[in-house]
Amino acid sequence: MVFVQNVVIGESPLRWQDVVAVARHGAVLELSPQAWARIDNAQAIVQRIVVSGERAYGVNTGLGALCNVSLQDEQLSQLSRNTLLSHACGVGKPLTDEQTRAIICAAVVNFSQGKSGLHRRVVEALLAFLNLGITPQVPSQGSVGYLTHMAHIGVGLLGVGMVSYRGQVVPASQALAEAHLQPLQVGAKDGLCLVNGTPCMTGLSCLALDDAQRLSQWADVIGAMSFEALRGQIDAFDPQIIALKPHPGMQRVGENLRALLAGSEVIDSSRGIRTQDALSIRSIPQVHGAARDQLAHAARQIETELNSATDNPLLLGTPEDYRVVSQANPHGQSVAFAADLLAIAVAEIGAIAERRLDRLINPQVSGLPAFLVSQPGVNSGMMIVQYVAAALCAENRQLAQPAVVDNYVTSGLQEDHLSMGTNASLKLHRALENCTQILAIEYLLAAQAFEFLKVQGFGVGTTAAWQLMRLHVPPYDQDRWLAPDIATSAAILKDAALLSRTFPNLL
């Protein structure tokens, strides 16, 4: 069980881990008095604009290509409501609850900058949804970077559409009634604020960072097991050699591998059996380390975006002395680049893992029984799981193609360059799931290989990993239904608490 404290938006920047705490672990999200004051100040500017009649995009004009159509009086509230209803046109399977919660959390962080201008009650409604567990059903497809996903969240606040609540999918109106909440009444600029900005791609990417960080650690553990099972030559991980290429990620991976393999009799007795190992074995620090460096870069980009004001227009100053600035902060190019780059890194972690696991089942290079089973022939052993890993790697190569370079024209030539950042974030999630399954297969195979080598002692860390697997999956003595074993292995890799308990010193 993960215990988390409340997350308070105040003066300090939020971390991507804070979004994960709210979205994935149920931390309560709160705003400090200073954050509420910023929101109220921006709303007061909106009210000053409404009274003055000054033209301001999205406050008293139409949207997109309709930006030159002036509106007034009751039309302003109607515009906000219509914006949510008309923009809630996504398609496809709904996002998971934690994905939608991450988007809502990122949206609240954006609004807390005090540059948006929406009413306080809108933010209060979003916080109520988060903290009471009311989660709109948001179709996963249809965003060019913003608009549709947040619109589906917005209509849920109105009492329209379906939501997840208390373990069931129910009409939003029913959930509001059961939670003793009133449907939201939106005013000037509320609708535009709710659909604008980059919280969709940013929230999704925060969750992806959590998964990628955990997988990068597991990749070192499982890679060390395969290295040991294949009797790798430990000189490739010599600290003096690793230090000659001082990429930060590579240094951490080198330290992890040496710690995991410490005390291994298998490694000690294998010194000199070959001049050098295949690259998939000896280049673990270089490949895993490079992926970690891309993860660190992506985290900086995503966290910067999380703490940015990403609406259009933005409201600066005070009601007595203000500026309304139309600009392009809702363009999510930075997050799109980061998600695409991370998808490439994740694909490479899976690719090198597939090459390692293929060597484990091949007796021509492993020195182990064919397909890691005692009686190959009557038993197929671990033959076909490598096919599965290869298929997942092929899919990840496709997912590694950048979304950000795709471009489409929308809104009557008004929005003619788009980041596609939400697509980038969503395909990153799919790549991470594929990589999880690939590493789960390698973990199964490496643990099975240990069964044929256990007359000698393994490393302190690899022994812990082997024992952990055996608590959940027995050795593979003869052919059996393998799909449940893969699912169990993947579940181990998704358990962050299990990772930290088993490997408390892992970098």
Helices of type H across 139-195: 148-158, 172-178, 190-195
**What distance in Å separates the CA atoms of residue 179 and residue 22, rounded to the nearest whole number?**
19
* Residues 6+ away with beta carbon under 8 Å from 3: none
What integer best gives the mean pLDDT of the chain?
Answer: 94
Q: How far is CA 296 from CA 218, 242, 346, 430, 440, in A?
A: 17, 19, 13, 20, 24
Q: What domains can be seen in the chain, in order of their start residue?
A: 7-196 (1.10.275.10), 205-502 (1.20.200.10)
Residues 229-248: what's their mean pLDDT? 97
Confidence of residue 255 (pLDDT cuts 50, 70, 90): very high
How many C-beta atoms lie closer than 10 Å to residue 453's C-beta? 16
> 35 pLDDT exceeds 90?
yes
Predicted confidence (pLDDT) per residue in 113-153, tens digit: 999 999 999 999 999 999 999 999 999 998 887 889 999 99
> 1 pLDDT exceeds 50?
no
**3-class SS of residue 137:** coil
> 158 pLDDT exceeds 70?
yes
What per-residue confidence (pLDDT) applies to 2? 53
Q: What is the percent of the chain where pLDDT is above 90? A: 84
Question: Where do we find the tokens 């994960």?
Answer: 20
Both tokens of 396, joined, read 């990840």
In the set 57, 146, 322, 476, the catalytic residue is 57
Give all strands of the β-sheet with 135-136 in edge-to-edge order: 135-136, 162-165, 168-171
CB 209 within 8 A of CB 312: no
Residue-level length of the chain: 507
pTM across the whole model: 0.95
* Residues 6+ away with beta carbon under 8 Å from 384: 482
User: Is residue 476 annotated as a catalytic residue, yes or no?
Assistant: no
Query: How would DSSP label each residue in 378-418?
Result: TB-TTHHHHHHHHHHHHHHHHHTS-STT----BTTTTB---
Kindly provide the b/e burial profile for residues 412-441, where b requires at least 16 CB atoms within 10 angstroms of the residue's own CB: eeebeebbbbbbbbbbbbebbbbbbbbbbb
What per-residue confidence (pLDDT) applies to 415? 73
User: What string of H, E and C letters represents the secondary structure of 182-233?
Assistant: CCCCCCCCHHHHHHCCCHHHHHHHHHHHHHHHHHHHHHHHHHHHHHHHCCCC
